[in-house]
Chains A and B, each alone.
Chain A
Amino acid sequence: MVGPNRRAILRGGAGAASLAAGVLPAPGLLAQAKSPYAGTTINASCFQTTYFEYLKNYFPQFEEKTGIKVAFTMQAFPVYNQRTDLELSTKGSSLDVINVTFIYSGRWIGAGWVTNLDPFTKDPKMTPADWDPEDFAGGPQSAMKNAKGETFGFSWEAGAMILGAARYDLIEKAGLGLPKTFDELIKVCDAVHNKEGVAAFTADKLHHWNWIPYLMGSGGAIFKAPPDNLTPTLATPQAAQSGEWYANLLMKYGPDGILSYSDDQSMRSQMSGRANIRTQAITWMVPLAKHAESTVQKTVRYGLMPAGPAGNFPGSNSHGLGIPAGSKKKEAAWEFIKWALSKETIAMVVKNHGYPSVCRLSIIKSPEFKDVLTLNGQDVASLFLEVLQLGGKTGYMKYRTVPVFPQVGDKINKAIERIATKQQAAPEAMKQAQAEAIQDLQKAGIKVDL
C-alpha cells in the first residue's frame, strides 16, 4: 500500500489551515475587525525619552487590539518643543498625540492649542471606570490643567530631582556621607574632586532647571508671585549670591567643558565613572544602576536634593500626553493615550524595563514598584514619592508652567554662563538677566512691577 506523500500532506495541511483561518480568525484579527478604528493611522510625537523607547516594543499589541497604526516620532528635547510649538500654533492636523511639555504646558493650554480631555474621561463609552483618571498623582497632573480645573493631558512622567553619587565609594573613603545641605555638598566635592580622575560634580547646560533648587534654597525666586505676578526677581542679592555659588560648583568641581554638556552627556559622564555627583530628575539617575553600559552600577547611591538655609526645593515636573486641537482623529488618539497610560501598560513597562518616573499612584505604591526601585539596597521609590509630595505641598514649581517661562529661562541660562566664564560678576549678570527678562515679558504683553 502506498501512503500519502509529503507534498500531499503539505497541500492538505495548507488547505485545512486556510479553512480554519476563514472560519475561525485569530482573536487579534477579530478584535481589529470589530474596531471602528481599523485601518486608522495616528501620528504621535514626543521628545527622546526612555518611556516611549520601551513602549514602542508593545505598539503591536495596541495595533492588534484596536486596528490603529501608530506613527511615533521622537526628537531631541529643544527640537521637539520648537516643532510642536509651531505645529500647534497653526492648529494643523499633522499630529494626533503630542507630549505636553512641562515648561510649555501653560502656554499651549492657555492658547487653546490642546484638546480638553474631560469629555473623553467622563463618557463611560469612551473610558471605562477602572481607567480611573483620579489615580494620576495630583502634583504632576496640576501642570496638565487650566485655571478652571479642566484636564488637557495625562502625565506619563513625573520628574523628581534627587541626588545621585555615581562613585559613592570615593565619598565613603573620604569618611563622608551623602551631602544633605549645600555646605555639605561643597565639603564632599572638596574631599573627592579628581580622586581617581573623577570630577566631583556634573550637570547639564539647562541651568534654568538645575540651578533653581539652589536659588530657592538660598531664599531666592524667579518671579514675585507666579502665576499672578510675573515680575522677575533675578536682580536680588540672593540670586546673585546663589548664581555665583552654583557657577563655582560647576567650574571648580565639574569636568572640563561642563558648560556645553547636554543632559545625555552629563548622564554618560556619570555612567562611565568620569564624574561623581549630579542633582537631576530620577529618570536620568536610575540608568546609573540599571543601564547595561553603566560602569558604576555597584557604587551608585541616591539621596534627597541637598537643602539650603531657606529649605529644600527639589525640582519636580511632569510631561503628559495630549491631543492637539487641530487633530482630526481625536477619538483614535484618545484610544492610544488610554492604552499607553493604562495601569496595565505602565505596570508592564515598570516590570520589564524598570521605568522609574510613573505618575499613577496605584503603581507608585505597589510592592512591584518598590522592588524595581530598590537600587543597591536603597529604597529609591520612597525618595521619588517624597519629592513629588514636596513639590505638590507648597506649589513652588508654579514658576515653571507660566507661559513666558521659556523666555525667562533663556536669560537665566545665559547669566549663569556669563558668571561661570567670568565674563561678568554675578550681580551684574543677574541685573542684565532681569532687564532682558522684563523687556521680553513686556513684549509678550505681561504687566510687571517696575
Chain B
Amino acid sequence: MISSPSGFSRTQGRFFAFCVAPSLAVLALITLLPALYLLATSFTPLNLTRPETQWDFSQPLENYRQLLSDSRLHNSVWVQIKLSFWTVLLQLLIGLLLALLLNMRSRLLEALRTVFLIPMVLPPIVVAIIWKVIYTPDISPMHGIFRALGWNVPALITDPDWALTSIIIADTWEWFPFTMLMVLAALQMMPQELLDAAKVDGASPWQLTRYITLPFIQGVLLVAGLFRLIDSIKAFPLIFILTDGGPGNLTEVTNYYSFLQAFNFSYLGFSSAITVALLAATIALSWLIVRMVGWGVRVD
C-alpha cells in the first residue's frame, strides 16, 4: 500500500527531525546553555572576588542601566563601528577585485591564488606579531625604508591619527583572502552561457560585470560580508598585541572592553551585559543587511 502524499511528508519530516536531533542536542549543550548562563549572569553583579554576587538577582537591570551611563563603552561602540565599516568594505573590495583578476586563465595567476591565501591561514597571533614587527620603528623593515627615503614616519600604532588605521590595514591584509576565495568559487560556478549570450548581444566588459557577474555573486558577497562583519565584531588578537586598546581608548572596541571588564577587573556580570547587548546588536544588524541587500540571483 502506498501512503498518501501528506502522510509521506509527515514521515519524511519525522525522519529529518530524527536525523537532526543529535546535532541540535549537541548545539544546545555547547551553545545554548552557555548563552543562557551568559544572559542570567548579565542580571547579576557577578564579581569573581565576591562569591555572594553569583546568584544575586536583587537588581536585575543594574548592569544594563550602567551600560547607558558608561562613556568608555559608548566610545568603544563608535570605535567598533569605524573598524567594522572600513575592514568589511576594504576586504570586500580587495577580495572582489582580486577574485575577478584571478578568475582569468593563466598559470601565473593560479600560482598566485595560493600565495594570496597565506595571511588567512596563519594563526591570528602570528599575524599580530608580524604586524607588531612592521609597526615598531626601531626593528621595522617598513620604517627602515622610510628612513632611507628620508621620510619621518611616526610609530603608527602609538600615533592617535594612525592607530586605528594601522589595525584596519592589518585586519584587511589578514582577511581579504576569505572574500577572494568565496567570490572566486562563485565565479567559477557561473554558467558560461550567460556571459556568451550577453557577448553576442554586444555587451562591453563593464556591462558584463555590472549586469551579469555582480548580480550572480551578490549572495556570496553578502555571506562573505556578514561573516566578516561578525568576525570584525570579535576582533581581539590584533588589538591585544598591537595597541592594547590605545593610545588612550582610540582602538578599544566593545569586545575588548568587555574582555577587560571580565578578566582584568573581574566584573563578570557587567561584562556579560555588554556581551548580551553586543550579541543582540549583531543579530539585528545581520537581519537588517539581509533584508536590505537580499540574497541575489539563485541559479539551480
| Residues in chain A within 8 A of chain B (CB atoms) | 78, 82, 85-86, 89, 107, 110-111, 205, 255-260, 265, 269, 274, 403, 406-407, 410, 413-414, 417-418, 420-424, 436, 439-440, 443-445
Contact = CB atoms under 8 A, between A and B. Distances in A.
A53 B246 CA distance: 31
Contact of A89 (B45, B49, B159, B246): B49
Nearest to A81: B264
A3 to B, nearest CB: 65
A13 to B, nearest CB: 53
Contacts, number: 98
Contacts of A407: 264-265
A86 B247 contact: no
Contacts of A274: 138
B158 interface: yes
Contacts of B247: 259, 417-418, 420-421, 423
Interface of B: 45, 47-51, 66, 70, 72, 135-138, 154-155, 157-160, 242-250, 260, 263-267, 270
A445 B269 CA distance: 13
A413 B160 CA distance: 15
B48 A85 contact: yes
Given A259-B246, A260-B158, A445-B50, A269 B138 contact: yes
B106 to A, nearest CB: 42
Contacts of A86: 48, 263
A335 B248 CA distance: 45
Nearest to A110: B49
B160 A422 contact: yes
Nearest to B245: A414
B267 A443 contact: yes
A443 B47 CA distance: 9
Contacts of A255: 137-138
5 A-B pairs with least C-beta separation: A257-B155, A418-B248, A89-B48, A259-B158, A417-B247
Nearest to B132: A260
A85 B263 contact: yes
Contact of B155 (A78, A111, A260, A424): A260
Contacts of B154: 256
Chain A contact residues, majority secondary structure? helix
Contacts of B47: 443-445
B243 A260 contact: yes
A82 B50 contact: no
Contacts of B249: 414, 418
A257 B246 contact: no
Given A421-B247, A436-B72, A256 B266 contact: no
A91 to B, nearest CB: 9
Nearest to A91: B51
Given A255-B138, A256-B138, A410-B265, A421 B159 contact: yes
6 contacts: A86-B263, A89-B266, A257-B155, A260-B155, A417-B246, A420-B247
Contacts of A89: 48-49, 266
Nearest to B265: A407
A323 B80 CA distance: 41
Contacts of B246: 205, 259-260, 413-414, 417
B265 A111 contact: no
Given A82-B263, A257-B138, A421-B158, 15 more contacts: A110-B49, A111-B50, A255-B137, A256-B154, A260-B135, A260-B242, A260-B243, A410-B265, A414-B249, A418-B247, A418-B248, A420-B247, A422-B160, A424-B248, A443-B45
B249 to A, nearest CB: 6
A406 B265 contact: yes
B66 A111 contact: no
A439 B266 contact: no
Given A403-B49, A414-B248, A85 B266 contact: yes
A257 B153 CA distance: 11
Contacts of B137: 255-257
Contacts of B245: 414
Contacts of A436: 72
Nearest to A440: B265
Chain B CB count within 10 A is highest, among A110, A420, A443, for: A443
Given A89-B49, A423-B248, A260 B157 contact: yes
B49 A205 contact: no
A262 to B, nearest CB: 10
Contacts of A265: 136
B248 A260 contact: no
A109 to B, nearest CB: 11
A355 B263 CA distance: 32
Nearest to A432: B71
Contacts of B48: 85-86, 89, 111
Chain A CB count within 10 A is highest, among B49, B245, B270, for: B49
Contacts of B244: 205, 260
Contacts of A257: 135-138, 155, 157-158
Contacts of B159: 421
